């Protein structure tokens, strides 16, 4: 089997196909998604004092911060667990300053001063 035989650009739809009969998933409006995200800043866990460096990858849960927006743009909140003690750490996007804002579970290290 060659590569061109596996690559199909057109799909066959039978004449009696009705797309309105396909069941749709009904989910919550503000549900959490699991994403692979890098940490945006250096931080230290408040419970075990583990250092988590900038750029370390985690599987984080992302949700839309309810009732918060900046100029009509959504603000996202990220949840992940400390790799050492499994304490929950959260941060959210800060669109006004083009940065991220630490919420709880960790202390931000090396705060960048923007002039």
Q: What is the mean pLDDT of the chain?
A: 87
Looking at the predicted structure, is the pLDDT value of residue 58 above 80? yes
pLDDT band at 92 (very low <50, low <70, confident <90, very high): very high
Mean pLDDT, rounded, for 3-30: 79
Please state the pTM of the whole predicted model. Answer: 0.71
Residue owning tokens 């549900």: 31
| Residue 77 or 5, more confident | 77
Model confidence band, residue 77 (pLDDT cutoffs 50, 70, 90): very high
């Amino acid at each position: 089997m060659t590569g061109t035989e596996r690559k199909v650009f057109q799909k066959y739809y039978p004449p009696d196909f009705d797309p309105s009969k396909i069941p749709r998933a009904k989910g919550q409006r503000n549900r959490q998604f699991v994403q692979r995200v890098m940490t945006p800043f250096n931080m230290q866990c408040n419970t075990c004092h583990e250092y988590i460096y900038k750029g370390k990858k985690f599987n984080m849960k992302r949700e839309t911060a309810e009732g918060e927006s900046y100029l009509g743009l959504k603000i996202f909140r990220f949840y992940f667990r400390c790799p050492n003690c499994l304490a929950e750490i959260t941060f959210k996007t800060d669109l006004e300053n083009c940065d991220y804002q630490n919420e709880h579970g960790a202390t931000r290290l090396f705060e960048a001063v923007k002039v």
